[in-house]
């Protein structure tokens, strides 16, 4: 390859628009999906949501799925694969996945199907007009972290020593820990942090919690994304008799004690709206990043009973959803 060819290629990359061109009639759109977790249940919900916009997989739509199954070290390679597949846009779920996609390409549009905090992590510089090639949904999870401490104390008044489990590969883990610690100290609770690299370390962390006589545990939501990890957490919390809290509704549905989560329960549908707009020519940098304005409180009464806990009636009255 001569110097002129390299220069021409570089100019083409710099000049590429930060949008997928409107799909010509008869051409199938190619979407890449990059997820920190596993397919369930996003895959089918997303496919159905796209169907509502007229995209039929196998006819005018092709979807390339890449799932990291909670292994952050795989994300860079998976993102690069999608770029090589020449997808029209990438839908990425969870902050590490979005970051991997953003590093892999500055020209292919990226739809965030859940970022922990797009501003704090520098994925966008402005929510109203993000610019660049990234837009979608930002959950501001750090702000919720402190509230989960007070919620756990209110639901379980005898709580005195709490643990907090975060994922070291998530760029928000330090901010999450800091918020939980300051909230715990403020109401007089002993705080013990656990910064883990993957789910295989959960057993050791719970053993340490047992020795430390922890009476409650808070999980960074990224640890509750994978259904297999959720099942492991639920099993261990019941074994060690620890009431648990996380910021993902599915955590409580899977058997966690309580969840305090955003009302973005229809993220596949919302992501499909962004996908449709971009495929029809919208620039991702012109599409505002959405943030939740309402949150829901979910209790699992079956888990409370298994732990021998009685949730105060006044708190149950505030619940948006109760699992019995």
Q: Given this structure, which CATH class describes domain 17-139+264-286?
A: alpha beta
Name the one residue in this structure whose structure tokens are 């501001």.
Answer: 140
- Higher-scoring residue by pLDDT: 248, 51: 51
- Closest Cα to residue 315, out of 163, 151, 198? 151
For residue 38, the model assigns a pLDDT of: 75
Tell me what the pLDDT averaged over the chain comes to: 88
Domains 17-139+264-286 and 141-262+295-323 alike in fold: yes
Residues 6+ positions from 201 with CB-CB distance below 8 Å? none
For residue 225, the model assigns a pLDDT of: 78
7 pLDDT band (50/70/90 cuts)? very low
Number of C-beta neighbours around residue 201 at 10 A: 14
For residue 177, the model assigns a pLDDT of: 94
Q: What is the pLDDT of residues 81-136, one digit of tens each?
A: 999 999 999 999 889 999 999 999 999 999 999 888 898 889 999 999 999 999 99
- Higher-scoring residue by pLDDT: 103, 228: 103
Average pLDDT over every residue of 162-177: 93
Query: Domain 141-262+295-323, what fold?
Result: Rossmann fold (3.40.50)
Cα–chain-centroid distance for residue 164?
Answer: 18
Q: Structural domain boundaries of the chain?
A: 17-139+264-286, 141-262+295-323
For residue 286, the model assigns a pLDDT of: 96
21 pLDDT more than 80:
no
Dist CA 180 CA 175 (whole Å): 9
For residue 264, the model assigns a pLDDT of: 60
Q: What is the pLDDT of residues 292-315, one digit of tens each?
A: 878 889 999 999 999 999 999 999
- Higher-scoring residue by pLDDT: 263, 294: 294
């Amino acid at each position: 390859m001569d110097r002129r060819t390299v220069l021409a290629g570089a100019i083409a990359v710099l000049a590429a628009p930060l949008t997928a061109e409107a799909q010509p009639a008869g051409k199938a759109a190619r979407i890449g999906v990059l997820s920190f977790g596993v397919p369930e249940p996003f895959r089918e919900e997303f496919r159905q949501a796209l169907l509502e916009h007229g995209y039929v997989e196998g006819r005018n739509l092709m979807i390339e799925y890449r799932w990291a199954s909670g292994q952050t070290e795989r994300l860079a390679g998976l993102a690069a694969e999608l770029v090589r597949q020449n997808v029209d846009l990438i839908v990425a779920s969870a902050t590490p996945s979005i970051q991997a996609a953003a590093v892999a390409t500055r020209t292919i549009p990226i739809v965030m199907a859940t970022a922990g905090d797009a501003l704090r992590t520098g994925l966008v510089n402005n929510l109203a007009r993000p610019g660049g090639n990234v837009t979608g949904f930002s959950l501001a999870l750090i702000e919720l972290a402190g509230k989960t401490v007070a919620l756990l104390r209110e639901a379980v008044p005898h709580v005195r020593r709490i643990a907090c489990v975060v994922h070291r590969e998530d760029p928000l883990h330090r901010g999450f820990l800091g918020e939980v610690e300051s909230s715990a100290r403020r109401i007089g609770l002993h705080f013990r942090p656990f910064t883990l690299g993957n789910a295989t370390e959960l057993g050791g962390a719970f053993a340490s919690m047992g020795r430390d006589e922890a009476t409650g545990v808070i999980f960074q939501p990224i640890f509750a994304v994978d259904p297999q990890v959720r099942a492991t957490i639920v099993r261990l919390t019941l074994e060690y008799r620890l009431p648990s809290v996380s910021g993902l509704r599915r955590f409580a549905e899977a058997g966690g004690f309580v969840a305090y989560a955003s009302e973005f329960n229809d993220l596949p549908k919302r992501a499909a709206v962004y996908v449709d707009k971009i495929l029809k020519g919208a620039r991702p940098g012109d599409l505002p990043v959405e943030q939740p304005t309402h949150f829901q409180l979910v209790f699992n009464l079956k888990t409370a009973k298994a732990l021998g806990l009685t949730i105060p009636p006044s708190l149950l009255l505030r619940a948006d959803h109760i699992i019995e």
